[in-house]
Structure 1
Amino acid sequence: MKYQWRFEAKEPEPLKRFLTQNGISKRQLARMKFAGGMIFVGHHQRHVQFILHRGDLVTVFTAPEQAAVSVRPSKQPVTVAYEDDEYLVVDKPPYVASLPAANHPDDTMANRVRYYLEHEHAESDAVHIVTRLDRDTSGLMLFAKSSWAHARVDKELHQHTVQKTYLAIVSHNFIGQPQHGNIKAPLAPSPEFYMRRVVDPNGKKAWTEYTVLENFADAAVVEVQLHTGRTHQIRAHFASIGHPLLGDSLYGGPLGYGLKRQALHCWRLAFEQPFSQTDLRLESPLPADLKQVWSELRRNENGIHMDKNNDGTA
């Protein structure tokens, strides 16, 4: 891929320092050196020790990338929520894993995105997942189209400036409880079952913020903001406070309403496009199964409807 900058600093500066400041790591520079990338200043190819002067035009051609052999293309369609030269955001349906594994090697979102990139004649069909979702969770997923684009947005992830907002339907209502709260509890694998996460003082720091959107007789719809990104964080945190998600049998959530999965959807995704500095705010509509559950809860004559500002008093 091709990237360009104009060097505007008053004082001369080594090319390597300038590239590092613009997000190119030492590893990526080495990859360009040994795998076919090129760096030009003006019309001349230059070494990273070249000294830049004000007004110089720097052009970088990143090394070509190949998709991993283990990620075979799948012709199943993808729903594109946003796309530019560096990033792709897709709307993941439930029951599709993010990455290939032994029990689902061929039709994951990675497989589908690889085929999409090939079909759309992208410069590379290499798949770089930036944000992933559990197999049965639906909603927005962010992909990068190159390792460099991945590294740039990964910095935002570590700085917690990539905002992922979920909608969840949890068991039991929050009547008489705060309608907004924070769950700050470290998580670790359960000693009883490795796939399950439990609150553990020796676990990894985890922080989930929530706002109740609507209360019902024995359920609630909540908006959830992640401040960390641990495995099963939302599911484990709500189970830990006595509100497991509907349909989430792994964490003790009640079944019913025709649900065959946990009632969790990645609703909104917001981040700054690192190359254009554009603020992107994307939204995914609630899928049919969760929309139906919400509608059934509202139709229930025993439902108790409250807006998010209600303090829980009847």
Structure 2
Amino acid sequence: MPEFIVPATGAGLKAELFLQEVIPAAPVGYLRQLFKKGKVKSDDATISANDSLTVGARISVPDSARIHELLTAPQRSAPKIDILYESREILIVNKPAGLAIHTSHGHERDNLTDRVAEFLLHRGDKFHAAPVQRLDLETSGPVLFGKGKKSCSELGKLFMQGEVVKIYLALVNGKLLGRGDLQSDIPAKGKLKTAKTSYQTLISNDIASLLELQLHTGRQHQIRRQFADAGHPLYGDKRYKGPCPRPLHRLFLHCRSLAFVDPFSQERVTVSAPLPKDLSRFLPQVDIVLPGH
């Protein structure tokens, strides 16, 4: 059974970060599964990923072909992430479409949280960063991470209290003019909860309408459900029967910006993410041209 002794420099280090250092080729998701299954021990006692280590502790992992492969493999190169904003307590990363935020079925080996963790490890940071918001798999845009438990807690409160302004761009089917609000009850955890979305039409024709949206609530599939119910499903939305013409291969929904007051510095933070090229290149197919494109 592979065993590692915690040196003086590892005093107080979280167990997950220690394993990332001693088995640098291991994907973060794989190490987290070892902790989740109770396979990591300190002096023969099972420990969790967030347990702090003491000098001289013997940390052991299962003796397996996979572990031996990782111990002899070259260190993984740092994953590329698009950092939109960073402070002492906050990290905001631009999520591409098709990348899950967390480990989930079909996304065990690659997700945004693990990419961020591996990036920070390669950079030499000694803290955990965790996402404090949701963004659907097919949706692109900024994702807010808190650095450490206190930051995650304070940033999470901003979302719960509705103090984060989230602006989206969406392409919907048909002509929709002006501005307005959509409010409806949406199933959430076995209950019906109110969902509200404000929209403003940027460009519209008989084929499609490009909208700027502001979410006032954060229900699952809120935008997609509400506009489908209103007779204007999103382009690329197979689930809610939106048009899916080629070459569009995903949902036309992008989080354009996040804005909030930093709970630590009390400064206003506004972060924008440009419309991805695959979406901007599709717009001429529905006779829509963005200014400057």
Q: Please, what TM-score do these two structures have when normalized by structure 2?
A: 0.71
| Contact 2:203/2:288, CA 8 A, preserved across alignment | no
Gap runs ≥5 in structure 2: 1-11, 17-28, 35-75
Provide Cα deviations, 1:92-146, integer angstroms capped at 9, x if missing partner.
Answer: 111111110121101110111111111222231x231112211111111100111
- Residue by residue, what CA displacement relative to the aligned partner does 1:141-200 show, whole Å, maximum 9, x if unpaired? 10011110011111111211111110000111115xxx11111101116xxxx9xxxxx9
1:258 match: 247
Residues 1:204 and 2:193 are matched in the alignment: yes
What is the rounded CA distance, in whole Å, between the counterparts of 1:241 and 1:280 in structure 2? 33
Q: CA deviation at 1:65?
A: 4.8
Residue 288 (structure 1) aligned with residue 277 (structure 2): yes
* 2:179 matches 1:180: yes
Of 116, 131, 136 in structure 1, the residue corresponding to residue 119 of structure 2 is 116
Matches within 5 A, 1:119-158: 119-124=122-127, 126-158=128-160
Report if the CA contact (8 A) 2:168-2:257 is conserved. Answer: yes
Residue identity in the other structure for 1:122: D
SS of structure 2 residue aligned to 1:250: coil
Q: Which amino acid aligns with 2:261?
A: E
Letter in 1 for 2:118: Y
**Is this contact kept in 2: 1:188–1:203, CA < 8 A?**
yes
Q: What is the rounded CA distance, in whole Å, between the counterparts of 1:71 and 1:251 in structure 2?
A: 34
Question: Are positions 1:104 and 2:107 aligned together?
Answer: yes
Letter in 1 for 2:234: L
Tell me the distance in 2 between the aligned counterparts of 1:211 and 1:299: 16
Give the secondary structure class of the aligned counterpart of 2:239: helix
Q: Distance in 1 between matches of 2:157 and 2:248?
A: 37
Fraction of identical pairs, as percent: 35
Structure 1 match to 2:228: 239
> AA paired with 1:185?
S
User: TM (normalized to structure 1)?
Assistant: 0.67
CA shift in 2, pair 1:283/1:105, >3 Å? same
C-alpha distance 121-217 of structure 1, shift in aligned 2 (>3 A): same
Shift of 1:70: 2.7
Letter in 1 for 2:135: L
Letter in 2 for 1:180: R
Deviation, structure 1 residue 298: 3.0
Query: What secondary structure is seen at the aligned counterpart in 2 of 1:256?
Result: coil
* Aligned positions, number: 225
The answer on whether the counterparts of 1:74 and 1:107 sit within 8 Å (CA) in structure 2 is: no
Structure 2 residue 70 is the aligned partner of structure 1 residue 70: no
Give the distance between the partners of 1:295 and 1:104, measured in 2 at CA. Answer: 33
Distance 1:66 1:283, change over 3 A: farther
Match of 1:81 in 2: 84
CA separation in 2, counterparts of 1:274 and 1:112? Answer: 26
* Mapped partners of 1:210, 1:299: distance in 2: 18
Corresponding residue for 2:165?
163
Question: Which residue does 1:19 correspond to in 2?
Answer: none
